[in-house]
Amino acid sequence: DIARTPASPDGNPEMADAPVQTPAPPAEIFRKDYKPFAWRMPNTFLDFQLGLDETLVTATLEVERNPVAEVSRTIRLNGDGLELVSLHCDGADCEGHTMDGDDLVISLSGDSHTLTIVTRLAPSANSQLMGLYASNGMLCTQCEAEGFRRITFFPDRPDVLSTYTVRMSGPKALFPILLSNGNRTDSGEEGENHWAEWHDPWPKPSYLFALVAGDLVARVDSFTTMSGRKVDLAVWVRDEDLPRTEHAMESLKRAMTWDEETFGREYDLDCFNIVAVSDFNMGAMENKGLNVFNTKYVLADPETATDGDYDGIEGVIGHEYFHNWSGNRITCRDWFQLSLKEGFTVLRDQLFSQDMGSAPVKRIEDVRVLRSVQFPEDSGPLAHPIRPDSFREISNFYTATVYNKGAEVIRMMRTMAGPERFRKGTDLYFERHDGEAATCEDFVSAIEDGAGLDLKQFRLWYSQAGTPRIKLDSERSGDKLELTFRQEVPPTPGQDTKQPMVIPLKTALFDRGGGEPAKESLVVLDSAETKVTIEDAPENAVLSLNRGFSAPVRIERDIAREDLAFLAMHDDDPFARYEAMQDLVVGHLVEAAGGTQGDNSRTEAEDAIVQALGAILTDDRLDDLMRGELMLLPSVTYLMEQLLIADPALIHAEREALKAKLGASLGDSFKALHERAAAVPFAMDAAAKGARKVKSLALAYCAAADPVRASQMADEQYDRADNMTDRQGALMALCGIDSPERTARLLDFYERYKGNPLVIDKWFAIQASSLHPQVVEHVKALADHPDFTLKNPNRVRSLYMAFAGNPHGFHAASGEGYRMIADLILALDPLNAQTAARFVPSLGRWRRIEPKRAGMMQAELQRIADAPKLSRDTYEQVTRSLG
Ligand code: ARG
Ligand code: ZN
């Protein structure tokens, strides 16, 4: 792997040789500069002579002038650290070619040519895990967004579509299985070697290319599509993992059926392959007909995977499969349009998971992720619109904003149109743009035309960053209730002033005095101030607002604690019920941590929370999955978001104090709940999953109040566990308690699962996210554990992402937590820039943290910025965070 050299981060060849002191910053690329490519690439032939240490690639590229682009006498083929072995044009030497940085620029005089390019790769030296790399003795690829240019010289941009034919050959003993996109058209043997040829009939951009070669076995199955075509399905894994593939395969078949029924989308090849690899930067990748997955999102059995893991697998399998239409059949014109495929596909996977399990619980989980990851992004130095205007490194824009807020924006269109009209909109989108590289604008227009909506002003959601804030004032006159909504979109980097957005809010009015059940209506805000009058509002009216989280906004309103408690117990919208409970807790903790709360109001607030939670623990109309949601306290990250300047230690302490208070006041209820849940035998249905969820939550509350007693409960839960959900829940509780049981159980867990990397990842993560007072020392020691390595992204995340998300460790008053993350970024950056850069945002929050810690965080960012060599990825994130 040839890392990007900082002397020429923008690939300028003159710079590379000059003895420069300060490297030029990598170039900023702008959406407004988009130009169609001057050439078309109708057919691409790739020949791979495979080897782990050395792979030879012969690319035969047909090029012809693009009649709708500006005429050019050269063609620019992107490269990234490639070794060029030979280059021919129409079978002869090229008329002229130059290197521009890592790109190859070739002079072309005619209207169509054939280029033959040979490159030499070193897969086992590729630690960036982009392009062709070795993982566990197998070869695989990751090309999105710009990895194909690490395989061969090519116009590596999503609007250049080509039909691919791939031939690969290699030692049969090492690589018995040879896979690529599309269908296998031929194969054969040559002595020790064998070869296979694959042809993908669907033109695609280079980022969807994939190749896999290795010693793999498959779980096979088949699916008959709605028009009666049989599709061969396979999930490829290492031999020992085969027993853990059933859930992935069942999820795939459910996803295929669901997409036919819900969006009318049918699969379009004769086979669909999924491959699990253990070294992977992200969750998974939707390469045409050959999805490559992180093992984390494929492998599961009850002994080694939690209920959360099972749900994650179903969601990601769905997500990648759905990309076949929203991403592959219709792809993106340029990377600024990333949310076109990601936002839409996240919405599709969310709706799929809602339909497969508990819809309200799934919705609550999705909102929780949005608010704890995307809201902080939107209010920090890295804020960007779901369709960014510029970037230096596109890998930095695979964000919660592009993915999750992108999904929320499309969900709002669906809410305004209703599901049937929305479906007419998506039908029109698929029909209009099939086979094209489209834009977000194309999507919005299609929904507008197909669903019959006016989305003129709504489009601001694509261009304005920041989470809108809505202030509600209500005034009563006689029977009328007058509501005034004021909206404001806060300034974000590069966007000082904002225009009012279209904000659909589902509302309902409850009568606390009994009376009519509430009817839901949709209020659509579209100006800085919107007034709504409700006639005949009951005396004790309580307004339930933003039900189902119909808009990704923050709501500020004065609402009486009694009203919140009422909604927490009686709202018929499960999300609104959850929200009322959260608001009740947030209100208290923010006041308590802000030091603005008197002793009396502390007691009152705590009592109200105790009472509401007490009712939730025993409410037999609730199923346990939903009960578990209502039992969750808001995260420290979310609480910190509520304050302009936050002291993480104070918030954390107050949150723990409340947990202990609840654990003590409701101790008997928690123990009873734990006991009831523990009696439910293992099964994968909602009732048993719910029981496991409330069981470990009850345990956590007990641990906060009475660690000695809870240690025994946890010990017992650990010993009796016949599944990972229970065992992990018990170990997490134990891990936060300083006791001999803790050490014994951690050792037991390690010994039990030491052959299984995904479970050992949990072992690292549980310790790194623990409440134990010595967590910083523990993480330092774990970094020296023989099983720790910077080479495997899952392992790095399991130790350090867990730690960076642990307020009690990361925000340690000494600043050690910050130093550890900065050290990690510096050590990881040369090996795996993409993964290293993902740790920067945690330090980038400094402006919203109390001054002492803020200073230390900023100093660590500066120390990274001052490093002599930085990847483009980390450079961009660090400079924006300091900026
Ligand atoms: N398209 C993939 C997905 O969301 C993500 C791959 C991104 N990979 C990367 N290296 N940036 O399903
Ligand atoms: Zn995706």
Q: Which residue minimizes the CA distance to atom 3 of ligand 1?
A: 285
- One-letter amino acid at 728 equals Q
Q: Find out whether the beta carbon of 583 lies less than 6 Å from any atom of ligand 1.
A: no
The closest alpha carbon to 692, from 600, 628, 780, 649, belongs to 628
pLDDT tens readout for residues 376-396: 999 999 999 999 999 999 999
Measured in Å, residue 879 CA sits from the centre of ligand 1 at 24
Ligand 1 atom having least distance to the Cα of 834: 10
The reported pLDDT for the residue numbered 5 is 36
Distance from the alpha carbon of residue 285 to the mean position of ligand 1, in angstroms: 6
Report whether residue 159 contacts ligand 1, using a CB cutoff of 6 Å: no
Q: For ligand 1, what atom is nearest to the CA of residue 142?
A: 10
Whole-number Å distance between alpha carbons of 299 and 284:
13
Catalytic residue among 146, 320, 448, 860: 320
Residues 337 and 31: their CA atoms lie apart, in Å, by 9
Mean per-residue pLDDT over the chain, rounded: 96
Give the closest residue (by CA) to ligand 1 atom 1: 285
Task: Say if the ipTM goes beyond 0.95.
Answer: yes
Q: Does the Cβ of 767 fall within 6 Å of ligand 1?
A: no
- What is the dihedral angle through the alpha carbons of 3, 6, 11, 13, rounded to the nearest 10 degrees? -110
CA angle centred on 202, ends 196 and 207, rounded to 5° = 80
Predicted confidence at residue 518, as pLDDT, reads 76
Q: Which residue has the higher pLDDT, 10 or 875?
A: 875
Instruction: Indicate which residue's Cα is closest to atom 12 of ligand 1.
Output: 285
Q: Per-residue pLDDT tens for 339-373?
A: 999 999 999 999 999 999 999 999 999 999 999 99
Q: Is the CB of residue 285 below 6 angstroms from any atom belonging to ligand 1?
A: yes
The arithmetic mean of pLDDT across residues 575-580, rounded, is 97
Q: Where are the beta strands (DSSP E) in 181-289?
A: 183-190, 193-204, 211-214, 217-224, 230-237, 271-277, 284-285
Indicate if ligand 1 lies below 6 Å from the C-beta of 403.
no
Residue among 209, 274, 280, 282 to mutate when testing ligand 1 (max atoms within 8 A of CB): 282
Interval between CA 422 and ligand 2 midpoint (Å) = 21
Q: Which residues pair with 483 in a beta bridge?
A: 474, 532
Q: Which atom of ligand 1 is nearest to the CA of 147?
A: 10
Ligand 2 (ion): residues with CB under 5 Å are 342, 345
CA distances from 512 to 479, 480, 555, 567, 570 (A): 15, 16, 22, 9, 9
CA of 785 to the centre of ligand 2 (A): 34
Note the ligand closest to the C-alpha atom of 343: 2
Residue 328 near residue 391, CB atoms below 8 Å:
no
Closest Cα to atom 9 of ligand 1: 144
Nearest-angstrom CA–CA distance, 538 and 719 = 55
Q: How far apart (Å, rounded) are the C-alpha atoms in residues 852 and 648?
A: 11
- Confidence bin at 10 (pLDDT 50/70/90): very low
Atom of ligand 1 nearest to the CA of 323: 12
pLDDT of residue 18: 47
| DSSP codes, 382-410 | T---SS-SEES-GGGG-SHIIIIIHHHHH
**Measured from the CB, is residue 395 less than 6 Å from ligand 1?**
yes
Query: Rounded to whole angstroms, what are the CA distances from 528 to 63, 305, 487?
Result: 52, 48, 5
What's the 373 CA to ligand 1 centre distance in angstroms? 18
Counting from 1 in the atom list of ligand 1, the atom nearest the Cα of 130 is: 10
Tallying the residues shown for the chain, one arrives at: 883
User: Does the C-beta of 464 come closer than 6 Å to ligand 1?
Assistant: no
Please give the distance, rounded to the nearest whole angstrom, from the Cα atom of residue 284 to the centre of ligand 1: 7
Supply the residue whose CA is at minimum distance from atom 10 of ligand 1. Answer: 144
- Determine contact, residues 881/864, Cβ cutoff 8 Å: no
Nearest-angstrom CA–CA distance, 372 and 845: 13
Confidence grade of residue 514 (pLDDT, cut at 50, 70, 90): confident
What is residue 22's predicted lDDT score, i.e. its pLDDT?
A: 59
- Specify burial of residue 614 (Cβ count, 10 A radius: 0-12, 13-18, 19+): middle
Q: Is the CB of 398 under 6 A from ligand 1?
A: yes
Ligand found nearest the CA of 280: 1
pLDDT score, position 540: 87
Task: Estimate the share of the chain in helix, then strand, then coil, as percent rounded to the nearest 5.
Answer: 45, 20, 30
Helix (H, G, I), strand (E, B) or coil at 482: strand
Ligand located closest to 340 CA: 2
Which residue CA neighbors atom 6 of ligand 1 most closely?
285
Alpha-helical regions (H) of 306-384: 307-322, 338-356, 359-369, 375-378
Please indicate whether residue 320 is annotated as part of the active site.
yes
pLDDT band at 11 (very low <50, low <70, confident <90, very high): very low
- Ligand 1 neighbour 286 (Cβ under 6 A): yes
- Is ligand 1 within 6 A of the CB of residue 578? no
Largest CA distance in the chain: 92
Nearest CA to ligand 1 atom 5: 285
Query: 206 CA distance to ligand 1 centroid (A)?
Result: 14
Ranking 732-741, 836-845, 868-877 by mean pLDDT, the lowest is 732-741
pTM exceeds 0.95 for this model: yes
**pLDDT tens digit string along 237-288?**
999 999 999 999 999 999 999 999 999 999 999 999 999 999 999 999 999 9
Tell me, using a 6 A CB cutoff, whether residue 320 lines ligand 1. Answer: yes
Per-residue pLDDT, averaged over 585-613, amounts to 93
Q: Whose CA is nearest to atom 7 of ligand 1?
A: 144
Q: How far apart are CA 422 and CA 436, in angstroms?
A: 21
Q: Minimal CA–CA distance to 757: which of 280, 254, 204? A: 280
User: From CA 866, how far away is CA 844, in angstroms rounded?
Assistant: 16
Closest ligand (CA of 342) = 2
Measure the CA–CA gap between 585 and 608, rounded to whole angstroms: 9
Q: How far is CA 488 from CA 376, 454, 497, 530, 669, in A?
A: 17, 22, 10, 12, 43
